[in-house]
A and B are shown apart, each in its own frame.
Chain A
Amino acid sequence: MTDFLTPDELAAIGLSLKVALRAVVFSLPLAILAAWLLARTRFPGKALFDALVHVPLVMPPVVVGYVLLVLFGARGPLGGLLQDWFGIRLVFTAAGASLATAVMSFPLIVRAIRLSLEAADPGLEDAARTLGAGPLDRLFTITLPLAFPGILSGAVVAFAAGLGEFGAVITFVSNIPGETQTLPLAIYTATQIPGGEATAAKLAAISFTLALAGLFLSELLARRLRGWIGR
């Protein structure tokens, strides 16, 4: 293995996995909340909220990275607060890479969860109400279990997509080997170095395999779980 991959390349793969995983774990609760708001409630400004959730899907990733840089930069309105209150620095760190990845993959998770919430029969929640279940009780015993296949497959797809996030990450946290150089950034770097073609091809193949495995796993899980929850 060590002959096949250099320590820098291994670090890039490890960092990508870590960044994508953290992005999914932190965005999942918010994504469930957003999906639930979109699927089950009505409120003024819902159309705007819907658009905001989905905007990373259509905006150039570089712009997302730039907006994050403005907001969370050392002198940005949010970055300054985080730095002063919690000592958290996002710019040029792996945590910042996770944030950029989370923002980019957020619409993917929300869509998957929202679809499965909309597919779940609201009549079942009515049934639970007549059986004495309050709002939170219903959410945890009926709504979320029924939406679980969607939640899980959304998370896996977001994870796989997060492994490959490039534009937002490089704009927000730059390209520091061992710190913020994820797999796609390492591939980019390799293509910029004379004689780096072999490395680029190798890493690209790994990237492709991981993405494919993620999609495959997501589909498999969704199918298994749908059977398990009896639909």
Chain B
Amino acid sequence: MLQIAIRRRLGRFSLDVAIEAPAPGVTALFGRSGSGKTSIIQAVAGLLRPESGRIAVGGTVLFDSALAIDLAPEKRRIGYVFQDARLFPHLSVARNLAYGLNRAPKAERAIGFDQVVDLLGIAALLDRRPRALSGGERQRVALGRALLAQPRLLLMDEPLAALDADRKAEVLPYLEALHERLALPILYVTHAMEEVGRLADTLVVVEAGRVLASGPLAEVLSRADLPSLAGHDEALNVLRTVVGAHLPERGLTRLDFDGGTLLLPRLDRPPGTALRVRIAARDIILATRRPEAISLRNILEGRVRDLGQGRGGAVLVGLMLGQTPLIARITQDAAQDLGLVPGMPVLVLVKSVAVDR
């Protein structure tokens, strides 16, 4: 369990947040720049002192103003991956990686050097100096360095924000692997919806120093009352599915989830594999009558849960497919045409190619 409840005034800006997140798992702190996300993780790392509050990871209290506890950053064992990597320029990659490892208590060295080098694919870089690395390589090394310090919690401050699209695509799979292979709680700061969709289990939306919403990812993403989230251009849904069956004669793969099935272009995964897929809110089409003779493969039966106002006159439609919450963004005009009201049954249309893995 990760527990953060802090207050801090920073000039005109004031931070006042309370966050509880399960550990392990990835908790994303999502919000615009200047919303206070980075201040929150700095406080967790001990680099920023809150005026009051309490920060605890697992059973360890890192900060508690009432009990006058304020552990120094070097005593907290909280890994921190900075946006700008902050590798030590005078040390080789290998010595950067070993820096935290050598300072971790011997009895608690659960993550090994070779394991991390292998996980992050950085074996070929060990003898190099940081300045000879690309941006993506730097972030991988910075991640490895933080992991090897044997942290109880890993903080990541927009680790991909400074990278171009190609470098992002290079690093993201390593983050996903990290998520799957290490039972380490991660607090991940980002303003990129795609990273939230691919990495997060729990989502905390931060705005102007306050927590706007928090909870399990799919639940928060599908809330129709959060224009800053669902009204976002890139707003998306995350579905936890299982590969059901392959349909070789049709070139498709069927994914099952609580609330229906999805047909996708054939996937190379054995049946039974858990798969997390993303569907953009703007890619969902709603209908009240079953369309015929259409290229669309996925027609799901759901019902309208609630309606919300999006940006620029868009309507956010909260949906339930069985137990699975979903959000769709449509125009005001379409919502009126269909006469959408909470509780009414509706057909949810999803193009196979609009489902991202």
Q: Which residues of A contact B (CB under 8 A)?
A: 121, 123-124, 126-134, 137, 141-142, 145-146, 228-231
Establish whether residues A123 and B129, one from each chain, have CB atoms under 8 Å apart when the complex forms. no
Top 8 A-B pairs ranked by shortest CB distance? A132-B103, A131-B100, A230-B89, A229-B90, A130-B80, A127-B86, A129-B73, A230-B129
Closest Cβ–Cβ distance, residue B156 to chain A (whole Å): 12
Query: Which of A124, A128, A129, A130 has most B Cβ within 10 Å?
Result: A130
B64 at the interface (CB under 8 A from A): no
Establish whether residues B90 and A146, one from each chain, have CB atoms under 8 Å apart when the complex forms. yes
**B residues in contact with A121, CB < 8 Å:** 86
Measured in the bound complex, the distance between the Cα atoms of B129 and A134 in whole Å is 24
Which of A123, A134, A228 is close to B86, meaning CB atoms less than 8 Å apart?
A123
**A residues in contact with B88, CB < 8 Å:** 124, 127-128, 142
* A132, closest chain B residue (CB): B103
* B100, closest chain A residue (CB): A131
For B76-104 the 0/1 string (1 means CB < 8 A from A) is 11111010101011100000000110011
* B89, closest chain A residue (CB): A230
B9 at the interface (CB under 8 A from A): no
**A residues in contact with B86, CB < 8 Å:** 121, 123-124, 126-127
Establish whether residues A130 and B45, one from each chain, have CB atoms under 8 Å apart when the complex forms. yes
Closest Cβ–Cβ distance, residue A136 to chain B (whole Å): 11
Measured in the bound complex, the distance between the Cα atoms of B131 and A137 in whole Å is 23
Measured in the bound complex, the distance between the Cα atoms of B102 and A137 in whole Å is 12
Q: A130-B47, A132-B74, A132-B104 are in contact. List 5 more A-B contacts (CB 8 A).
A: A121-B86, A123-B86, A131-B146, A131-B149, A231-B131
Please tell me the number of chain B residues within 8 Å of chain A, measured between CB atoms: 28
Measured in the bound complex, the distance between the Cα atoms of B100 and A137 in whole Å is 12
Which of B47, B74, B78, B145 is close to A133, meaning CB atoms less than 8 Å apart?
B74
Which residues 43-88 of B sit at the A interface, judged by CB distance below 8 A?
45-47, 72-80, 82, 84, 86, 88
Which residues 121-157 of B sit at the A interface, judged by CB distance below 8 A?
129-131, 145-146, 149
**A residues in contact with B72, CB < 8 Å:** 129, 134
**B residues in contact with A137, CB < 8 Å:** 74, 103
Query: Which of B74, B84, B130 has most A Cβ within 10 Å?
Result: B74
* A129, closest chain B residue (CB): B73
Closest Cβ–Cβ distance, residue A225 to chain B (whole Å): 10
User: Can you report 20 A-B residue pairs in the complex whose CB atoms are below 8 A from each other?
Assistant: A121-B86, A123-B84, A123-B86, A126-B73, A127-B80, A127-B82, A129-B73, A130-B47, A130-B79, A131-B99, A132-B75, A133-B103, A141-B99, A142-B88, A146-B90, A228-B90, A229-B89, A229-B90, A230-B131, A231-B89
**B residues in contact with A231, CB < 8 Å:** 89, 131
Q: A123-B84, A126-B47, A230-B129 are in contact. Are A131 and B103 (CB under 8 A)?
A: yes
Q: A127-B80, A146-B89 are in contact. Are A230 and B130 (CB under 8 A)?
A: yes
